[in-house]
Chains A and B, each alone.
Chain A
Amino acid sequence: MRRTLLESLTHGPLTEAPPAPDEAALAELAKNVQKAAQARLGRSLSIRAVDAGSCNACELEIHALSNAFYDLERFGLRFVASPRHADVLTVTGPVTKNMREALLRAYNAMPDPKWVVAIGGCAADGGIFKGSYACLGGASDVVPVDLHIAGCPPSPTALLKGLLALLQHVEGRTG
């Protein structure tokens, strides 16, 4: 263990420079997020991730955000267990009918102000599951969505770009 720890100290960090916030995301946010909600939270957002019927690929890439290369927490963004502690709800999957109520309850449990980020093609509009007897047409059928991050699944870099845009917007720099 000592060797592994020592090497971690002597090696240069693996963490990469942050990507620029996604321009399209900033434009979408400028439309959706109220100014009143900005600058209230400082440079920190707590995120509650809810899988509403995803194939689990989006979850794998969300997990990757916490590895040494992306190190999400350096931006003040962190995942929390309870929706009551969360400022941001991320939704993955097409929102199955069987998950509708759970998703809604998680959203309703969050304090204001709050934001919803739809992650991946499924959460945007149902994606390839659109029209199924078992699915709704994406997150916006159940909760108001502020930001979409595209991809199947979105890469960690794409996720970072979107979340950084949200952070910047909440800080009020661009608003």
Chain B
Amino acid sequence: MKAIDLLAAGELTLLGLWGERDAVHMALFGEAGDVAVVTLECGSGEFPSVSVFHPPALRLERSIRDLFGLEAAGAGDTRPWLDHGVWGAHAPLGNNTGAGEKAPYPFLPAEGEALHQVAVGPIHAGIIEPGHFRFSAGGEHVVRVEQRFGFTHKGIEKLMQGASLDGAATLAARSCGDSTVAYSFAFARAVELALGTEVPPRARYLRALMAELERVANHIGDIGGICNDASFALMLAQTGILRERCLRAADVCFGHRLMMGAVVPGGVARDIAPAGVEQVRALLAEIRKVFPRLIELYDNTASLQDRTVTTGIVKAEYARRFGAGGYVGRAAGRSFDARRNLPYAPYDQLSFKVPVLDAGDVNARVWIRIREVEQSLALIDQILDRLPRGAIRTELKAPDQSREGMALVEAFRGDVLVWLRLDAENRIARCHLRDASWFQWPLLEAAIEKNIIADFPLCNRSFNCSYSGTDL
């Protein structure tokens, strides 16, 4: 309860809240840069609600109820979150209580004269992930939007239970395809911390190279995507070329365009191809030639700025309270980057800046991404210059007893948390993956208020939160 008080007082930040059959775990981050996990046994099937005092925990509590059947006592909102009543099971990771049933889902009300509702999704107009948005609008202006997700829930955490390290790593890499390197990286680090494994220096640097390539490719692609959603297609055409060049370089280096499965517990699955270093240097030169021109284009196109400046503002107070990571938090004054605040190899040996802005609008999120591309390019330079020689993978020994490990890795959209427990034979007893989007999605609901419905795609794109990463 002390921890909940400190969360509510803003002295701690919620990093994660997840369940087990008879227990609930909560990860916390303190201002001093320390991380703690609080575990509460709940044999009675109940745990004290965190969300009642600290709203960012709400969706996590609803998910714990759906997956484990553990009730958050005192919670105000007890609607299901992931469970749509069609699994043929309730609480599949807990004391499975037989088939759930499909029930109407009551959306939160919006009252006022001449309000109307617009239901969007789960299938959207564009080629994006499925999710439902319920708008209440007065004319063009959004009064309230409520998200309803869970459509891409695949049962990843259940599939992981009892899986071998290889099997679980394969699942972790496919939790969220655009951040596959970051997820594999976080999963591998959690395993290595549990086992006390030292990763060879070359592998550490290769992991960072992949992570930065992934970040650059996503940021560049999304900058074009955001502009395209403001009807400025030229930018998407240009950034699409740069993104494709990134993916092709990744393919040459590591044999997969998205580098899926390249980071594994113990190191990396394959060394960089002989032609890889040259390929990456050529890529950096190309980006450095073209990207500044695109930034100038963004900055000097008044019709585009008209759409992005002051649109979809995230309040700094919300970003802080929700512990919003990534560009969503950093564009609204929250200076947090797992690479710096909870440094891990090799970032503790590399120099980079963490850009922060205060405006919190679409424009600020674009600028954070622009600055982060520049930082990543500089990081890749450092990585290539210092790339150590030697082994790329260490053998993992079975621990003889149950071990736990937790790691945070900075993906392009924010920090990914992986917590796991291994049994004595190095199988997964329980693994939880927490995407940065858990603490960003709710802010989108707040950011869109008083904006027009037509600006929603633009706001949504500037957040680019993950559906699969949160639905799992």
Map CB proximity to B onto A22-59 as digits: 1 under 8 Å, 0 otherwise.
00000000000000000000000000011111111111
Q: Are A54 and B468 in contact (CB under 8 A)?
A: yes
Which of B159, B240, B294, B467 is within 8 Å of A56, CB to CB?
Answer: B467
Map CB proximity to B onto A132-147 as digits: 1 under 8 Å, 0 otherwise.
1111000000000000
Query: Would you call B119 an interface residue if the criterion is a C-beta within 8 Å of the partner chain's C-beta atoms?
Result: no
Query: Would you call A171 an interface residue if the criterion is a C-beta within 8 Å of the partner chain's C-beta atoms?
Result: no
B117 to chain A, nearest CB (A): 19
Q: How far is the CA of A64 from the CA of B221 in the complex (A)?
A: 10
Q: Are A133 and B92 in contact (CB under 8 A)?
A: yes
Residue from B125, B128, B152 having most chain A Cβ neighbours under 10 A: B152
Contacts A1-B297, A132-B158, A133-B158; A79 near B127 (Cβ below 8 A):
yes
Q: Name the residue of chain B whose CB is nearest to the CB of A109.
A: B123
Residue from B128, B129, B300, B466 having most chain A Cβ neighbours under 10 A: B129
Chain B residues contacting A152 (CB-CB under 8 Å) are 174, 260
Q: Name the residue of chain B whose CB is nearest to the CB of A106.
A: B123
Task: Count A-B contacts at CB 8 Å.
Answer: 144
Q: Are B123 and A69 in contact (CB under 8 A)?
A: no
Q: Are B155 and A132 in contact (CB under 8 A)?
A: yes
Chain B residues contacting A51 (CB-CB under 8 Å) are 123, 127-130, 152
B223 to chain A, nearest CB (A): 14
Q: Which residues 109-168 in B have Cβ within 8 Å of A in the complex?
A: 122-123, 125-130, 150-156, 158-159
Contacts A4-B234, A99-B130, A133-B92; A57 near B258 (Cβ below 8 A):
yes
Query: Would you call B229 an interface residue if the criterion is a C-beta within 8 Å of the partner chain's C-beta atoms?
Result: no
Q: Are B177 and A153 in contact (CB under 8 A)?
A: yes
Query: Would you call B180 an interface residue if the criterion is a C-beta within 8 Å of the partner chain's C-beta atoms?
Result: yes
**Interface SS majority for chain B:** loop
Which of A59, A63, A133 is within 8 Å of B155, CB to CB?
Answer: A133
B141 to chain A, nearest CB (A): 24
Q: Are B234 and A69 in contact (CB under 8 A)?
A: no
Q: How far is the CA of A106 from the CA of B125 in the complex (A)?
A: 12
Which of B123, B155, B176, B240 is within 8 Å of A50, CB to CB?
Answer: B123
Q: How far is the CA of A52 from the CA of B150 in the complex (A)?
A: 11
Map CB proximity to A onto B172-198 as digits: 1 under 8 Å, 0 otherwise.
001111101000000000000000000
Query: Would you call B25 an interface residue if the criterion is a C-beta within 8 Å of the partner chain's C-beta atoms?
Result: no
Chain B residues contacting A84 (CB-CB under 8 Å) are none
Contacts A54-B129, A135-B155; A4 near B177 (Cβ below 8 A):
no
Q: Are B241 and A14 in contact (CB under 8 A)?
A: yes
Q: Are B297 and A4 in contact (CB under 8 A)?
A: yes
B125 to chain A, nearest CB (A): 4
Query: Would you call A68 an interface residue if the criterion is a C-beta within 8 Å of the partner chain's C-beta atoms?
Result: yes
Contacts A56-B466, A133-B155; A100 near B177 (Cβ below 8 A):
no
Extra contacts besides A64-B240, A94-B154, A98-B84 (20): CB < 8 Å: A1-B301, A5-B234, A51-B127, A51-B128, A55-B468, A56-B176, A56-B178, A58-B177, A59-B128, A67-B240, A93-B154, A96-B154, A97-B86, A98-B151, A102-B123, A129-B156, A132-B158, A132-B159, A133-B92, A133-B158
